[in-house]
Amino acid sequence: MDSIKLIEQEQLKKDIPDFKPGDTLKAYIKVIEGTRERLQPFEGICIERRNTGINESITLRRISHGVGVERTILLHSPRLEKLEVVKQGHVRRSRLYYLREKVGKSARVKEKKLEEIRR
């Protein structure tokens, strides 16, 4: 195996949950303020998941005080402390860019029913 791939394999996180675009995720990100370090949660709908391996990233979107906020997070970054799935959404696309133009109730994603999750 290539030496670069070996090093990348060691750096990959093992505790990433199984999720898809459309799911609502809560990401706990380490924020350094001066000499102190704290965890900042960011909860939003996953609108895209791109790349593979060490370069894998997700984009989370939420509405904060009437303004759409998106945050791109590297999944295998040491700054990402924890990632948890809050709700599973039911969508038929892998990129949910159309949510950027939606406002209010039309910006919601259908939630998966319990029967669909068990399958």
CB within 8 Å of 1: residues ≥ 6 apart? none
Radius of gyration of the chain (CA): 16
The pLDDT value given to residue 96: 96
Cα dihedral across residues 86, 92, 96, 98: positive or negative: negative
Average pLDDT, the chain: 92
Instruction: Please name each of the domains of the chain with its CATH number.
Output: 3-118 (2.30.30.790)
pLDDT, greater one: 43 or 66: 43
Cα dihedral across residues 30, 53, 99, 72: positive or negative: positive
Q: Is the pLDDT of residue 119 over 90?
A: no
The pLDDT value given to residue 1: 64
Q: Model confidence over 13-45: pLDDT tens digits?
A: 999 999 999 999 999 999 999 999 999 999 999
Nearest of 110, 42, 23 to residue 80 by alpha carbon: 42
